[in-house]
Chain A
């Protein structure tokens, strides 16, 4: 996140993202919202919501103006999580929705995510069409008789919780003492409401949603969990600790013994919980996430489908299967979706799955985690020289010919006990390097790759 703020703007199939002010401007927001209003086919209103960043109000105004100008009524949910927005789109039968929030990025950033009917992320083809309309800037504005209005809708958390309560036995997990680092994000509203409504025992830290600065970076990683959450576990006698990104679609965790757990373990953990009831079904994940997933899936007769990194690839993969063929989907970043909430990454639902698993097994979180073989992952990044990428990838491929190669997204090379993945980030101008080994960290392999990437800049 150390990029020059004036070059932070990224307009892609995933939407619009940048540092507000120098990168993400009001004009771009209005144009993108106008493009979305032009793009939408289905009749009906458009749902909007935002995370608590201060810039969210400015962006909300622009999104509303663009959509209303295209003749759409806008239903604004205020400060809510992305999953709540997606649920509400489906519940209200809306034409689509926009989530305003930069999820795991720092407070200076903001972004727009777009959803179609039923709260589904746009497919790559649809996102491409939206981008074309944005670039053409030929929008279908309504005349004065057809301009839309804005409606404020509060109280969308309860219907969302109704759905969660239908899926998880919330009463059963009331006994757990759970500490949550809300990262000053939308999870605090949801969990406060759960405490009042279900008598759950969530102790919240960083629960204020003021939006100017966050207590710490909101990335759902082991490092972030280690900052404030993990050290609280033992003193508070907590059974588990969870950390949510600002829009609550991702989660990271700490175990009751004060360990900050690798973000890579969230997906295998939930797979281990869900696969027994979805015997033989698919787990969809990307090429960068832990190989532990294959081991866990194998225990339950499940199958892992690996697709290129990025939400768009996951969405396209999801769309090619029927819901009943899929057990779950997710990334090594703590973003997990379950078949009941298809196309919705939901951190709160992920937490409830993990707590339910602890309850059903009558096991401590650390015990469950210890039941998995140890994998060590190293993630890093090297600044990008775009023109050198093809040569770099060819050189790496040449060097590691003995492994099993997958070139669908950069280069992934697998050996029986270790693998690496070198790819170009979609969100930042860097090459990402991920290495994992069953057992101790693959430090040597990682260093080799970093050196090779750095050397590539001098080709």
Chain B
């Protein structure tokens, strides 16, 4: 029997699904009303990315929040980090971003933030979901229903002013960098060109900055989806190219030749910049490159590893009071001095500042990074079978250092292997890293072979 498609997920990350048949206005409204009931009477900020379903869902969410007695501040179209930051500094009880981040356009989701502008922790999330399931919402009477206010200006101002405190603005402005950008017609379409042009005095060449148009490429910014940015960098002889995902939290970077940098290298560059100016350690997920360990070591800092997922990284950054953190493969940089969230804008500012400081090109900066080769892959896999594979791997690499925090990571003299099952799909993710491409390939191949045998 074919697997029944149910393209809706109500879980730890909020509500996510294909709009229409699965993610309905009723569901969004009820979830927002549960959220409003949970955070309590007060102000809730709401913003969204540029998906066509965004306005409809925002009305549904606003309806649910008002019904719970909350006042709603409509922020319009904004990047997720900007919404989070504003939620955390506007005396709000919380915030909701209506965005499915890097998912395809038919998806949408509600991301939920607490009064500090942080993703709910695991216990908050569980309480909220219980409340949602019990459907015992606060139902405000006429006299208790508050208003909707618009604030389209303050959040971006707050976000940008925070970033500018952590870079040498004059140094960047003097260089008048020529920068190519691809905003995927997403939430950064207005803010990103303005940030680079007006604040950092860049000469901006932009594609896909029309928030009314659909995403022109795959939403996730990866080397294989950013051909247009590469072309634009070359055609305009730009010093660097930046690409965002639809909600502006993830960043991909092209060097001046148009080559798209490995996302792990982008994170490594940002970590290097952060550690030059801030004290504290580094937090990355288990799949992030060992280049981070080398860079941290060169600054005399420690590296903490977490399970995959922004929330995990953010929680550990808080716990160890780290200087910076992130997740390599998915282009997420978290610099807590700006805010405890993935933020492509901090990444852009850091890289431009480093270029301005050193006078070196992006390709040179990237080439200076510790050299590792990575092989990432995924295979269809039943969730329940991971245990057998893990046992086989352990037997295959006797004496190796193991980490079972998230799937299994095997650390070997020549590199490492990380296998884990996806939280969202019935697939197994396999990552291998080594000093050379051949070695990485070989490690990856060994896992696939074992997978075939067990």
Residues of A within 8 A of B (CB-CB), count: 42
A21 to B138, CA, bound (A): 8
Closest Cβ–Cβ distance, residue A141 to chain B (whole Å): 4
Which of B21, B28, B52, B59 has the most A CB atoms < 10 Å from its CB? B59
Closest Cβ–Cβ distance, residue A299 to chain B (whole Å): 45
Contact A62 B56 (CB under 8 A): no
A108 to B19, CA, bound (A): 34
Closest Cβ–Cβ distance, residue B67 to chain A (whole Å): 4
A27 to B37, CA, bound (A): 14
Contact A148 B143 (CB under 8 A): no
Question: Which residue from chain B places its CB closest to the CB of A19 in the assembled complex?
Answer: B141
Contact B143 A65 (CB under 8 A): no
Stretch at the interface among B144-152, B300-308, B387-395, B420-428: B144-152
Contact B59 A54 (CB under 8 A): no
Closest Cβ–Cβ distance, residue A78 to chain B (whole Å): 12
Count how many pairs of residues, one from A and one from B, have CB atoms less than 8 Å apart in the complex.
134
Contact B143 A54 (CB under 8 A): yes
List of A residues within 8 angstroms of B140 by Cβ: 20-21, 58
CB of B193 within 8 Å of the partner chain? no
Say which residue of A19, A58, A148 sits within 8 Å of B56 (CB atoms).
Answer: A148
Closest Cβ–Cβ distance, residue A391 to chain B (whole Å): 38
Contact B106 A143 (CB under 8 A): yes
Closest Cβ–Cβ distance, residue A79 to chain B (whole Å): 13
List of B residues within 8 angstroms of A143 by Cβ: 19-21, 106
Contact A69 B66 (CB under 8 A): no
Closest Cβ–Cβ distance, residue B52 to chain A (whole Å): 5
CB of B221 within 8 Å of the partner chain? no
CB of A382 within 8 Å of the partner chain? no
Known: A21-B141, A54-B142, A212-B142. A144 touches B106 (CB 8 A): yes
CB of B258 within 8 Å of the partner chain? no
Contact B147 A65 (CB under 8 A): no
Contact A54 B145 (CB under 8 A): yes
CB of A145 within 8 Å of the partner chain? yes
Contact B29 A26 (CB under 8 A): yes
CB of B24 within 8 Å of the partner chain? yes
CB of A61 within 8 Å of the partner chain? yes
Contact B28 A20 (CB under 8 A): no
A34 to B29, CA, bound (A): 13
Contact B142 A53 (CB under 8 A): yes
Interface string of A76-112 (1 = CB under 8 A from B): 0000000000000000000000000000000111100
CB of B51 within 8 Å of the partner chain? yes
Say which residue of B19, B59, B139 sits within 8 Å of A21 (CB atoms).
Answer: B139
List of A residues within 8 angstroms of B139 by Cβ: 20-22, 25-26
Interface string of B119-139 (1 = CB under 8 A from A): 000000000000000000001
8 Å CB interface, A310-328 against B:
none
CB of B253 within 8 Å of the partner chain? no
Contact A141 B66 (CB under 8 A): no
List of B residues within 8 angstroms of A57 by Cβ: 66, 145, 147-148
CB of B63 within 8 Å of the partner chain? yes
A5 to B143, CA, bound (A): 14
Say which residue of B25, B33, B145 sits within 8 Å of A65 (CB atoms).
Answer: B25
Say which residue of A5, A58, A150, A212 sits within 8 Å of B55 (CB atoms).
Answer: A150
CB of A66 within 8 Å of the partner chain? yes
List of A residues within 8 angstroms of B59 by Cβ: 61-62, 64-65, 68, 150
Closest Cβ–Cβ distance, residue A411 to chain B (whole Å): 36
List of B residues within 8 angstroms of A213 by Cβ: 143
Contact B143 A107 (CB under 8 A): yes
Closest Cβ–Cβ distance, residue B294 to chain A (whole Å): 44
8 Å CB interface, B66-115 against A:
66-67, 105-106, 108
Contact A212 B33 (CB under 8 A): no
CB of A177 within 8 Å of the partner chain? no
List of B residues within 8 angstroms of A107 by Cβ: 142-143
Question: Which residue from chain B places its CB closest to the CB of A137 in the assembled complex?
Answer: B26
List of B residues within 8 angstroms of A150 by Cβ: 55, 59
Contact B106 A65 (CB under 8 A): no
Say which residue of A5, A19, A54, A61 sits within 8 Å of B62 (CB atoms).
Answer: A61
CB of B351 within 8 Å of the partner chain? no
CB of B53 within 8 Å of the partner chain? yes
CB of A149 within 8 Å of the partner chain? yes
8 Å CB interface, A99-150 against B:
107-110, 139, 141-145, 147-150
Question: Which residue from chain B places its CB closest to the CB of A62 in the assembled complex?
Answer: B63
CB of B64 within 8 Å of the partner chain? yes
8 Å CB interface, B22-58 against A:
24-26, 28-30, 33, 51-53, 55-57
Known: A64-B59, A107-B142, A213-B143. A144 touches B52 (CB 8 A): yes
Question: Which residue from chain A places its CB closest to the CB of B107 in the assembled complex?
Answer: A144
A21 to B51, CA, bound (A): 31
A147 to B52, CA, bound (A): 7
A149 to B106, CA, bound (A): 16
Interface string of B210-227 (1 = CB under 8 A from A): 000000000000000000
Closest Cβ–Cβ distance, residue B196 to chain A (whole Å): 29
Closest Cβ–Cβ distance, residue A155 to chain B (whole Å): 20
Question: Which residue from chain B places its CB closest to the CB of A106 in the assembled complex?
Answer: B142
Interface string of B349-365 (1 = CB under 8 A from A): 00000000000000000
CB of B184 within 8 Å of the partner chain? no
CB of B181 within 8 Å of the partner chain? no
Question: Which residue from chain A places its CB closest to the CB of B25 in the assembled complex?
Answer: A65
CB of A247 within 8 Å of the partner chain? no
Known: A22-B141, A212-B142. A27 touches B29 (CB 8 A): yes
A362 to B91, CA, bound (A): 63
Contact A212 B143 (CB under 8 A): yes
Question: Which residue from chain A places its CB closest to the CB of B139 in the assembled complex?
Answer: A21
CB of A29 within 8 Å of the partner chain? yes
A232 to B139, CA, bound (A): 40
CB of B60 within 8 Å of the partner chain? yes
Closest Cβ–Cβ distance, residue B76 to chain A (whole Å): 13
Contact B53 A144 (CB under 8 A): yes
Question: Which residue from chain A places its CB closest to the CB of B32 in the assembled complex?
Answer: A26
A144 to B62, CA, bound (A): 20
Contact B143 A27 (CB under 8 A): no
8 Å CB interface, B139-170 against A:
139-145, 147-148
Question: Which residue from chain B places its CB closest to the CB of A68 in the assembled complex?
Answer: B56
8 Å CB interface, A38-89 against B:
53-55, 57-59, 61-62, 64-66, 68-69
Contact B55 A68 (CB under 8 A): yes
List of B residues within 8 angstroms of A64 by Cβ: 56, 59
A150 to B66, CA, bound (A): 18
Contact A144 B141 (CB under 8 A): no
Interface string of A260-274 (1 = CB under 8 A from B): 000000000000000
Closest Cβ–Cβ distance, residue B222 to chain A (whole Å): 22
CB of A180 within 8 Å of the partner chain? no
Closest Cβ–Cβ distance, residue B65 to chain A (whole Å): 9
CB of A30 within 8 Å of the partner chain? yes
A25 to B28, CA, bound (A): 14
CB of A249 within 8 Å of the partner chain? no
CB of A346 within 8 Å of the partner chain? no
List of A residues within 8 angstroms of B142 by Cβ: 20-21, 53-55, 107-110, 211-212
In the assembled complex, 5 residue pairs joining A and B whose CB atoms fall closer than 8 Å, in A order, are A29-B63, A31-B26, A64-B56, A65-B29, A144-B108
Name 13 extra pairs, CB < 8 A, besides A54-B143, A61-B59, A64-B59: A25-B67, A27-B26, A27-B29, A27-B30, A30-B29, A54-B147, A59-B63, A62-B60, A108-B143, A110-B142, A142-B20, A143-B20, A145-B52
Q: B-side interface residues toward A, CB under 8 Å?
A: 18-21, 24-26, 28-30, 33, 51-53, 55-57, 59-60, 62-64, 66-67, 105-106, 108, 139-145, 147-148
Q: Give the 7 A-B residue pairs with the shortest CB-CB distance, closest first.
A: A65-B60, A26-B67, A58-B66, A61-B63, A62-B63, A68-B56, A65-B59
